[in-house]
């Protein structure tokens, strides 16, 4: 009942917003903005176009069949962000023209919010083939971002199966809360040690009581490059790039989750360097498939959805799949409530037989709040200073 009351309330609010816009439009007090022109296909983003703007840097590594999943992640980032974004896309050579083609097709009203670069996969230390096959194809590339992106101070790395349900600006603000020693932020791998993977099965050191999940990782790259890390290889500290391959060689027969395990080992020896995100910033099926165990999401809603275990593409967790599909199918310049939020509510009605589907408010709370803010900004912009909601 609460769910349906929630839906009807927002239907009424949006209806009132749209009706008042329409009334002003018909009375001649509001003008329709000209349709945005598409950027010419051969026009690339200029590196100096927004030189005075404070950028938010977002990195992702995409190999194999992850093109469409990555584009959906980038789409969710652009839809809701406030400040401008720089995408650092690391991909196999065969995917580069596909990324360029798809991103150049996005309407100007959204493509003006970001710039992008597509980089080849490269590993600066150790055996490249070993790194390439460490876990999922090319996933170890994230370990080398501090060495490759030498001119970038801070960066948000995410896996391809991430969806943003609120502005990236909000997670970017965590950089300001780092203390003097913290240089990266991740969320716990699990909230309950007795059912966590690391606490039950790990054969190597890991951070804290449940380990950390590297699918969402906020990094101060400058600090990472300048820090001497404690380790169990030599008595003195090692630079990041000096430490990676020796650590891999020492633990390669004991790690299961590849680069994530290496990050857990590093922060086991350097816990003062890590800031812990609350679980709602990296919400995975594990947080609801055995019963709801992310209190932050229950109170505030999910901020970042992480569809690991391939749940966007099978029927094991239909709630996650529903969110993926409505963002994928959303046409950039449609009405957010009519073309995304209401279809999402409808899809959720078919997921109530699952444990994750029984808590729709957890999935809806932040994205509804974000959509309301985006819609409000859009209405105020179009109506003008003389009209207030």
Tens of each residue's pLDDT in the chain, 389 residues:
444 444 544 444 444 444 444 333 333 343 333 333 334 333 444 333 433 458 999 999 999 999 999 999 999 999 999 999 999 999 999 999 999 999 999 999 999 999 999 999 999 888 888 888 786 778 899 999 999 999 999 999 999 999 999 999 999 999 999 999 999 999 999 999 988 899 999 999 999 999 999 999 999 999 999 999 999 999 999 999 999 999 999 999 999 998 999 999 999 999 999 999 999 999 999 999 989 999 999 999 999 999 998 999 999 999 999 999 999 999 998 999 999 999 999 999 999 999 999 999 999 999 999 998 887 765 544 445 444 44
CA angle 85, 78, 62 (to 5 degrees): 80
Q: How many residues make up the chain in this entry?
A: 389
Instruction: Identify the pLDDT of residue 139.
Output: 84
**pTM summary value:** 0.84
| 142 CB-contact burial (10 Å; exposed 0-12 / middle 13-18 / buried 19+) | buried
C-alpha span between 137 and 132 (Å, rounded): 6
Which neighbouring-strand residues pair with 185? 218, 275
Instruction: Identify the pLDDT of residue 378.
Output: 58
Instruction: Identify the pLDDT of residue 289.
Output: 92
Instruction: Identify the pLDDT of residue 134.
Output: 81
137, 120 contact by CB (below 8 A): no
Distances in whole angstroms, Cα of residue 303 to Cα of each of 11, 61, 166, 306, 365: 23, 21, 6, 10, 9
Instruction: Identify the pLDDT of residue 141.
Output: 93
C-alpha span between 338 and 14 (Å, rounded): 9
Neighbours of 122 (CB within 10 A): 12
Which tokens sit at 96? Answer: 């580069």
C-alpha span between 290 and 286 (Å, rounded): 7
Strands ordered across the beta sheet of 212-220 = 114-119, 85-91, 56-62, 154-158, 212-220, 184-188, 274-276
Instruction: Identify the pLDDT of residue 107.
Output: 95
Which tokens sit at 361? Answer: 């408010």
C-alpha span between 191 and 50 (Å, rounded): 41
Instruction: Identify the pLDDT of residue 45.
Output: 43
Instruction: Identify the pLDDT of residue 375.
Output: 73
């Amino acid at each position: 009942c609460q769910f349906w009351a929630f839906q009807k309330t927002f239907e009424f609010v949006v209806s009132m917003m749209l009706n008042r816009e329409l009334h002003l439009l018909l009375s001649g007090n509001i003008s329709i903005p000209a349709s945005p022109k598409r950027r010419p296909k051969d026009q690339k983003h200029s590196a100096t176009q927004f030189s005075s703007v404070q950028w938010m840097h977002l990195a992702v590594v995409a190999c194999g069949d992850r093109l469409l999943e990555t584009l959906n992640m980038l789409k969710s980032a652009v839809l809701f962000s406030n400040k401008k974004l720089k995408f650092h896309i690391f991909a196999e050579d065969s995917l580069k023209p596909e990324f360029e083609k798809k991103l150049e097709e996005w309407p100007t009203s959204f493509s003006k919010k970001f710039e992008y670069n597509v980089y080849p996969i490269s590993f600066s230390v150790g055996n490249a083939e070993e790194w390439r096959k460490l876990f999922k194809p090319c996933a170890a590339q994230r370990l080398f971002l501090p060495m490759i992106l030498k001119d970038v101070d801070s960066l948000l790395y995410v896996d391809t199966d991430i969806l943003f349900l609120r502005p990236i600006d909000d997670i970017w603000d965590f950089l300001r809360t780092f203390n003097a020693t913290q240089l990266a932020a991740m969320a716990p791998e699990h909230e309950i040690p007795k059912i966590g993977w690391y606490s039950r099965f790990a054969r190597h050191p890991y951070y804290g009581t449940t380990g950390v999940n590297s699918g969402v990782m906020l990094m101060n790259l400058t600090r990472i490059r300048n820090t001497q890390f404690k380790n169990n290889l030599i008595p003195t500290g090692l630079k990041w790039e000096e430490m990676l391959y020796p650590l891999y060689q020492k633990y390669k027969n004991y790690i299961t989750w590849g680069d994530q395990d290496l990050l857990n080992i590093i922060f086991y020896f350097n816990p003062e360097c890590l800031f812990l995100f609350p679980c709602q910033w990296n919400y995975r099926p594990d947080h609801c498939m055995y019963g709801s165990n992310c209190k932050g999401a229950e109170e505030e809603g999910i901020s970042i959805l992480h569809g690991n275990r391939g749940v966007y593409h099978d029927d094991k967790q239909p709630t996650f799949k529903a969110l993926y599909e409505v963002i994928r199918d959303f046409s950039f310049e449609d009405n957010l409530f009519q073309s995304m939020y209401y279809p999402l509510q409808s899809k959720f009605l078919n997921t109530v037989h699952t444990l994750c589907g029984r808590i729709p408010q957890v999935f809806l709370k932040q994205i509804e709040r974000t959509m309301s803010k985006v819609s409000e900004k859009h209405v105020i912009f179009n109506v003008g200073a003389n009209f207030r909601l």
